[in-house]
Structure 1
Amino acid sequence: MATGSRTLWKGAITFGLVHIPVGLHTATTEEGVDFDWLDKRTMDPVGYKRVNKKTGKEIDKDNIVKGVEYEDGKYVVISPDEIEAVYPRTTQTIEIQRFVDANALPFVYLQRPYYVAPINRGHKVYALLREVLHKTGKIGLAKVVIATKQHLAALVPGEKALVLNLLRWGDEVKSLEGLDLPGAGIKGAKISGAEMKMAEQLVKSMSGGWKPEDFKDEFKHEVMKLVAKKVKAGDTETVIQPEEEAPSEGAEIIDLTDLLARSLKGAKAPKPAARKTPRKAPARKSAAAKARKSA
């Protein structure tokens, strides 16, 4: 769990007129081995240069503009002011749009999980939302803005914690068109009864409980064994890393009273969420650097 971890984001879960003040905590760590580039002559960290791919020459950042390719080799240049103007507005809320059956969300949409923990006396309403999701078998589909980027997310109840899973947008998941797939169902795939029976027996013989500690990254394990061996032998180097800026935290949301009754009174059937015209985000030096090239 995220106990004692740094809060990455502060805001509130909202649905109807209910606000639940919460903080986000990272739920995962990056796997694999992180190989840093070092100058073998001085053991200084090695960074990346801005290089003109045609001339091979390094260019100053002031001469770099952002372009979106709309046809092969043809671009539209977007200015920093135009980029900032369409950033989504920062609301510091996990705004639940609707509740859906937990098994209705395909795994392919899941992207990155965060633990959600209550703050500012929001524990009881937090627990109420967690338990009602358990009882109804629902999850909350929400929109949230993190570091100027808007995400679709699923609010999923765990045993004790709510988990916010960032999702891929619908147009980011490719269709099955063009894949050579067998027909759906046993008959469609032309599977015989004997084949299915043997497959069921094999699956049963290999079945067991979910124990994440039973699985590990073998490559990382072997590399870290080598690292430990070299450390023990004194075969090490000292590298001075530049200081990193700590990410800023969002403003706290004031704890509000339980407004379930009023929300229920004004509840309506969910409608497809209308696409809002984003507002300009607060000016940040790093904002322009977060713009990404459209797929």
Structure 2
Amino acid sequence: MARSLWKGAISFGLVHIPVEMYPATRESSLDLTMLDKRDFSPIGFKRYNKSTQAEVAWENIVKGYEYTSGEYVVLSDEDLKRANVEATQTIDILAFVNADEVPLLYHNQPYYLAPGKGGDKVYALLRETLRSAGKIGIANVVIRVKQHLAALVCVGDVIVMETLRYADEIRPADELKIPKKGEKNAAISDKELKMALALVEGMSEEWKPDQYHDTYREDVLALVEEKIAHNETKTITMPGKEREKPAAGNVIDLVALLQQSIGAKPGAKPAKGSSRKAANDEPEEEEEEEEAAPAPKKRASAPRSTAAKAAAPRQRAAAAAKPKAVSRTSAKVPSKAKKTA
């Protein structure tokens, strides 16, 4: 487990629960290094004094608030703490609400809360209270130099604190051109709605988070290995011709698209006959020699084993590299991409 980010207490009425806060998520994005394209050397960044242009070491850096142009009030970590000692050390529960009353738009970043020394019993009391009441606790907490609204949620045996956005941090959607129910240009027929519901029903399944993974990252890593195999590590690929965009104003036959989607969804038999068949017609049994409806161009959501996931980038890279033979006189090719930095 990572080091705790914060130590303090949950204030629950007159009860104080000592807790430690830990990150609940980790990033797995591609770690790309910026290079100078003239010689492919890594680019570095310096902290420098804007008056003297001299580089500044970390020990000489302090924080300041600009109260007027070019004038600053220096604020040390101790100043920030003394501004409100209780706020910086307490997750203060303000109210309890139903979880479904907080829209997803307000949710921000989750953290695990673990009981501090001597806090096991009161921690368990709050956890079981949240579970039994079916509520979440709405609280204030200061992390670093920002006060957050937060939700305390019971997830299994762990109390999770998720920071929330304040109402004034949510941008209004008034200026967006959103179709309103009943408008002519967004009118939906009963047939279209019925078929869309049938498609949703056919694609419904239990939530299994392990079956979803970053396939784009795997594809990029496969491309990295392919470039290494072909000695193209310094080749800059230029943009190709863009695909033609469909002409604006084309009338979309939703019924045909929905029928094709229903017939092409994984594990289902396509409907027989024309794609413009009426929605309330019962699909006939498909004969063995009949050709299946074309599947939409998207990745199947079927889960893959952990071994298959790990091997996929190397298999794709090997397949892509087969047609091109590498010269025997070329230098040895590494078998695996290494991080640039």
Compute the TM-score of the two structures, normalised by the length of structure 1. 0.63
Instruction: Output the amino acid matched with 2:73.
Output: P
Secondary structure of the 1:126 match is helix
Q: CA deviation at 1:89?
A: 2.5
Structure with the bigger RCO (C-alpha within 8 Å, sep 6+) is: 1
1:1-295 alignment, distance < 5 Å: 4-37=1-34, 46-48=44-46, 58=53, 76=69, 79-81=72-74, 89-90=84-85, 91-184=88-181, 190-225=187-222, 232-233=334-335
Quickly say closer, same or farther: Cα 1:51–1:196, change in 2 above 3 A: farther
Q: CA deviation at 1:171?
A: 1.0
Q: CA deviation at 1:92?
A: 1.2
Instruction: Output the amino acid matched with 2:12.
Output: F
Quickly say closer, same or farther: Cα 1:184–1:162, change in 2 above 3 A: farther
| Alignment check: 8 A CA contact 1:89 1:148 kept | no
Structure 1 unaligned segments of length 5 or more: list them.
Answer: 69-74, 240-295
CA distance in 2, matches of 1:176, 1:39: 41
Q: CA deviation at 1:42?
A: 10
Secondary structure of the 2:188 match is coil
Ranges of 4+ aligned residues in structure 1 off by more than 4 Å? 38-45, 48-52, 57-62, 64-68, 75-78, 82-88, 184-187, 225-232, 234-239
Quickly say closer, same or farther: Cα 1:86–1:170, change in 2 above 3 A: farther
CA distance in 1, matches of 2:3, 2:99: 29
CA distance in 2, matches of 1:235, 1:203: 40
| Alignment check: 8 A CA contact 1:143 1:150 kept | yes
Compute the TM-score of the two structures, normalised by the length of structure 2. 0.55
Q: CA deviation at 1:181?
A: 1.5
Q: Percent identity?
A: 41
Instruction: Output the amino acid matched with 2:161.
Output: L
RMSD of aligned residue pairs (Cα, Å): 3.8
Instruction: Output the amino acid matched with 1:195.
Output: E
Secondary structure of the 1:162 match is strand
Structure ID, larger Rg: 2
